[in-house]
Structure 1
């Protein structure tokens, strides 16, 4: 029985980690190398993350600089960034690619806060789906007389308490990310 609840907690932890990774890709006005996390280039036939084919630095607060170890990748990295939906145009000087993060307008900040809220809602839906699955497992155990009704009630209460804790953590992460976006 504890195995189901431990698995439930582990899946919830993964949901929170995934949400934080999603939030890292949301641009908040300053240079953030995480906007490149999900972008890959073809490196000798294998899709490789940009961070693994070059050096990524932040020379100024709103500039991200990518210096590939193999200069033949410059055009490909530039093309990948242009095709990605990150709303930043790369500039290529033949040695490095610079991404200049523009100042966020008030409208763009509001858009980003809506995007953050949507990502948070998706995480909450995932949490509720995980809760439903574990509740179904508990009810099956009770039906097959592996646990009593009292144990079922106790475990359901525990699962709900854990769910509430994780939903509160998601809300806290949404609030922190929105604060970051609005204060830049």
Structure 2
């Protein structure tokens, strides 16, 4: 009889342990994209207002991605930046901070320099399309502010980016 009770208790404990392991834990990095927003508050305004920072972020696109160890703009990145140029020309009261980022591979120093080259590439492209350089600043965060933390190429790719952050204007 005691053997049956012990076996039942053991099965119950193991079952609860497995059930606890199979449940999904909340992603502790769900809100990490807020690091890319001015003051961490997110974009102001509504997506339906074409002159709002929220519209810029969601509809125009606030980031471009880069290949491994590269700061060259792809055709896809140039298309996003062309949309940013049109929006910035229509909304001249906004100032811009371009944040360069890298994935976690490599040293801190290397990734800070790479992030700076990426931010500079975006700034230079915007300037070449007519945005006054005085409206633009750049900063590199290197690998210090990842969108995702993992050791897979899909995550690394999201972290190799430059983000255009609106830092002033009507809706800020």
TM range, normalised to the smaller chain?
A: under 0.3
Using structure 1 for the length normalisation, give the TM-score: 0.25
Q: Which protein has the bigger helix share?
A: 1
